[in-house]
Structure 1
């Protein structure tokens, strides 16, 4: 009887068990069907599976095909399977999904044996690589238990679909391009390799690969920066798994475990790398092009997102020359700032600069601290008290950033007294910009002074007036009395000043007048050729800022950017052709399809003979004039022309140098024009700007791979030169002409 009852109980329990099992299975099937029919939310479509969305950084590429910067929300750059070291693949499979090549997206054997795996020491997560990829690409992990169960089933369905659409190699590549590696928005194996080891994914060694793969399950707790001991233990676990799965021998695994982490940590953000100012300007330009040209994705309606769509932006910047330009700036500006500080030491800014209080007030109201306080509803009195209360801050110095405690108002004084500098270098024949240094430190001073800012150009404008004169038949050897000139007929009479110490007495040639930057002779030439032709030529040479047709423009009273002025001087070096300064060549999508091509404009600004004669005159500036220290101090002996420029009160210092292959403009000054050197000896362009040009060119000439040759001189026009450049011969011609005139008069 008892045996019968026991058998009935067993059958009853079996019946309950199987009912429960069938119910669970039915529920599971129903849930899968509901998820498949997207009752709990949409699943990725076929199109989305073919084109999975993953934010990718757009790359800025130099002319020598180096990545000089990125634009991103997530710092991610995709690579191909062949660009990934086998060590990375092996580490990933050994640690995350040992049966990756055997399953089709869902590993049921793995799913039902997680506990067993952990008991025997082979730690395995519940998701296959394909399932993790589905989560990375199409959703974000939910913290709600019920939603997470639904999401897990969605991952299963998506994982199966992924396996049907992609090969195993493609799945591994997609996965490694999407995973999060923690520090500073580092996504994908390419960015991780660069950030943690300053290398590329194909060069990762087994221990490096193990460290990075070990971070995947916990970028925070396994961070080699914040938790190096955790990272080391995790790396060694991955190496052990690689040994157990046969990817490394026991001896190799043990050897790699003894190695230190070996980090070459270089976090990447938008303030890092070269050409930071250039990249900021370029970003706005590219965004404007995408909108203005109505460039959309293949669907015809979705606009491109520069920070997410992995565009490739090809530029003309030469990474090596850019590096040289930044080095030259840093090398000399450190010295010049020391001169400036010593020059002002012990002198009251409040008493010496009448507008200083106003400048500080404006600087305070433009600061982020002031704007934030205003948003908080604080009164001006409260804000002023805050600005006079010491606080912690980080300041830029030429010896590196420093953390200090000071009053915010004093930090504004400090920044106002920091000299700024900008440089642009371009090939005059193509217009290609090779180097662009928009300021001294992008992290601290965001304003670009190459293209976005304009400053008074001073004597760098003088060649424009002389060029009009040459075009009208004047000779560089023409002699003019260097004496005061008054020009009338344009409003008030205008008589330029000339410093007695810098005035060359007597009668001098036009070439000498330009070389020594003589105001009176320049004014004489302006009076002969008139302001309107000069203003017209300036505009034709690419100056986009306002240039009024007044006599004073011959001395550079108008404002212009380094970008425009450098482009204008390219006309002299390029036989009269103005070629639009170009820094953006083309834009491609992540698949290499060309979205935009740039074609520079070309204008015949002056005839080739005039341009050639002007190169002869500009060489005089270096050979015997204000640019002489290029020869005497810096030892640059090859054919170089140029012009220094110094504005009123030494507020701006310029030097624009020309060679047949390179034209380079340099500007130096403070943020506010009222703050400047108090002596021309220190504040002139020959001291504030020319040395940076010299240091830059010396570096360029020292690298033959750049192809900028010392031996190349400016080529005369094919039609020949009818203007006499030999001043001795010119004197003889003039003497002969005078003799003939006397005879005719007789």
Structure 2
């Protein structure tokens, strides 16, 4: 019996030895096959020595401040000198305490893991991964194999880690690690994480902030400080205790730190949110077109999302923030007034034609229609209610609504376009394409064309002055019917109380935006000359040869209109608004640069000075006088208000020596206008945005070069030619033989 037991024991030992040896041989063979590339190419030492990582393209404002990024992975690289010591201490103390001692593989940790985790089943034993192993994973990722995926990936990473350690110094490894490690919210690299979660560069991170970010590395979603602040706080304190344990910070400091809040200052660089989203989207479109014409040193196209380009723009982020604040302040109030004015008869609720037309352009409607559903079936499908996040000026809200409910909700909103440029160059300083890019993607600065109303009138008067008409030329307020244009009779706002025998000079007529006189001036100077003048001023769109052009019935892009108005403070030269000054590669080499193209003067300096004085009168005593009376602005400002037919669009152009700003307000649906002129006129709907913005600008010393600038003094000739009575009344005999409403043919073509 003993003999049998002895034989069995020897056989068992032999069998176990064979099994053990087989396992060793299997894993050795597996390791060799991985080393030889049977499971995918392992980067060579030569390839590792020239690692090139994907980097986000950065968008900077005119002063170099980061305002956005374009990326697949949000990553911004730094040099070793840019990492604060306590950030490195927190990482090493938490993730790899023997980092400066091992060669990529920490055998002591591996043995601990083997004994405690595998043999003793101690789940708190931790892992054996080193910073270098994590770097290998960060750089080359993991593949999904059918069998033994974890083992194969671990072996592959160990090979890469060994090679990395043989090529790079510990400082280089830490640098690569910090530049590639994934943090919460799809953020790669500590610089991007620092800017996203604390709105500061990594070099400025405090001990507490550094510990918070390092704490997320254990599980970047589970410990996301934005989503799970309590978990993140607990994990941060573990990191701080590790730093105490290994002598990086004293215990009393840690005791103080653990009682501090997370102190997040979250700044998303998501394309849909953050500062100037419409501007960033426009920059992206222009950048993509530019990069199509440029090759990198290898002869390949640059990748907008991966090549770490630096895009320098013209935007002033401080001014942009003030502009966005002004828009929100004004439109919050205006939207409320707009809805109250309609009451229960609001067209977005009761006008079946408006609702049905909008309904039929919905993507979901089109897809259901394509699938063969009837209108009734489509309406039933889109009437099902579900929770949906909605835009509201008071703050986004979640409501239980159907697609049809949501459609009516969004139909009511007024939208806006606002552009501020340096009139000397066309450099865009502020750019607001709409009220919220998340919900309203359409850009009213670059994409939209709207009727411009009375903002076209200065082009008419410019053509008149340029062609010899004197500023003290008088025209009657009286209405005229133009028989050769379907008996068209332009009228003025407030016609009931107007004296048809009053005659205004050009300054009075423009500053008070008198429709009847604008058409008469157009008739006098000729449509062709007015259209030619507008073209010289940068309005390149083909405009209709109709007398109603004097009242701005044509649709013009906001950019073109702003660039044209710049000519009044830019030596009679229009400008083309632009947003990119230069593009550099990741190493700072300029790959493209842009300078504004200088145009020819569109009119003489006499005309320019006269027009500027006339538009100053608009602000001082005309339709834009609210700037002085309501908002108490004392700056040098010229301007022009505009309101279109049926109060569909409100406009204001503000002109100062170093900033020209144009603002539009209206509803995206052309069928929905303002209920009354009192609410919808440009002086009430658009002007207040400029006024509120400029008041904020006045309060900021950074912009004294704009707010304290002054127009040049007009020449003696201009002063003399403008020195006349604003209005004259027809004498008795002229009144006796003049009918109140004349009928004539329009000759100015």
Bigger Cα displacement from structure 2, 269-278 vs 651-660: 269-278
Q: Is the contact between residue 68 and residue 269 of structure 2 (CA under 8 Å) also seen in structure 1?
A: no
Q: In the alignment, which residue of structure 2 is the partner of 1:619?
A: 616
Task: Name the CA shift for 1:217/1:315 in 2 (closer, same or farther; >3 Å).
Answer: same
* 8 Å contact kept, 1:523–1:551: yes
SS at match of 1:322: helix
Report whether the alignment pairs 1:644 with 2:646: no
Write out per-residue CA displacement over residues 272-299 of structure 1, whole angstroms, 9 at most, x where no aligned residue. Answer: 21111111222112112212x1x23332
**371-380 or 494-503, which deviates more:** 371-380
Q: What CA distance in whole angstroms lies between the structure 1 residues aligned with 2:286 and 2:684?
A: 34
How far does residue 660 in structure 1 lie from its aligned partner after superposition?
0.6
Question: What residue is the counterpart of 1:40 in the other structure?
Answer: 39
Normalising by structure 2, we get a TM-score of: 0.88
Where do 5+ consecutive residues of structure 1 fail to align?
A: 732-746
TM-score of the two chains, using structure 1 as the length reference: 0.88
Shift of 1:516: 0.9
> What is the aligned partner in structure 1 of residue 395 from structure 2?
400
Describe the SS at the equivalent of 1:346: helix
CA distance in 2, matches of 1:52, 1:305: 17
1:572 corresponds in structure 2 to: 568
- The 2-side partners of 1:612 and 1:297 are apart by 49
Contact 1:72 1:308 in 2 (8 A): yes
**Cα distance in 1 for residues equivalent to 2:697 and 2:226:** 38
Q: Are 1:435 and 2:435 matched, yes or no?
A: no
Residue of structure 2 in register with 1:270 after alignment: 271
**Aligned counterpart, 2:330:** 332
Aligned to 2:736: none
Instruction: Report the 3-state secondary structure (helix = DSSP H, G, I; strand = E; otherwise coil) of the residue aligned with 2:581.
Output: strand
Q: Does 1:513 align with 2:515?
A: no
Count of paired positions: 717
Q: Is the 8 A contact 2:560 2:576 kept in 1?
A: no
- Contact preservation (8 Å) 2:419, 2:431: yes
Please say which of residues 575-584 and 69-78 is displaced more in the overlay.
69-78
SS at the partner of 1:450? coil
In structure 1, how many angstroms separate the alpha carbons of the residues matched to 2:208 and 2:419? Answer: 44
State the SS of the aligned residue for 2:519. Answer: helix
SS class of match (2:306) = coil
**1:75 deviation in Å?**
2.7
* Secondary structure in 2 matching 1:400: coil
Listed as ranges, the matches of 1:539-558 within 5 Å are 539-558=535-554
Shift of 1:104: 2.9
Aligned to 1:300: 299
Q: Which stretch shifts more, 642-651 or 546-555?
A: 546-555
CA distance in 2 between partners of 1:166 and 1:658 (Å): 58
Structure 2: stretches of 5+ with no match in the other structure: 727-749
What SS does structure 2 have at the residue aligned with 1:497?
Answer: coil
In structure 2, relative to structure 1, the CA distance for the partners of 1:504 and 1:125 (3 Å cut) is: farther
Q: How does 1:43-62 map to 2 (within 5 A)?
A: 43-44=42-43, 48-52=47-51, 54-62=53-61
Q: Which of 156, 160, 163 is the aligned partner of 2:162?
A: 160
Deviation per CA, 1:478-534: give whole Å up to 9, x if none.
222333346687x76654233414756412111111011112221222112211221
1:74-473 to structure 2, matched below 5 A, reads 74-115=73-114, 123-140=125-142, 142=144, 145-182=147-184, 184-225=185-226, 227-228=228-229, 230-265=231-266, 268-291=269-292, 293=293, 295-301=294-300, 303-347=301-345, 349=347, 356-370=351-365, 373=368, 378-473=373-468
Distance 1:445 1:96, change over 3 A: same
Kept in 2: contact 1:485–1:523 (CA 8 A): no
Helix, strand or coil: the match of 2:98?
Answer: coil
Please state how far the C-alpha of 1:629 moved relative to its aligned partner.
1.1
Range 700-709 or range 335-344, more displaced: 700-709
Name the CA shift for 1:713/1:197 in 2 (closer, same or farther; >3 Å).
Answer: closer
- What do you get for the CA RMSD once the two structures are aligned? 3.3
Q: In structure 1, how many angstroms separate the alpha carbons of the residues matched to 2:704 and 2:168?
A: 46
- Seen in structure 2, the aligned counterparts of structure 1 residues 579 and 46 have a Cα distance that, compared at 3 Å, is farther
Matched, 1:701 2:698: yes
The change in CA–CA distance for 1:104 and 1:544 in structure 2 (over 3 A counts) is farther
Deviation at 1:55, TM superposition (A): 3.9
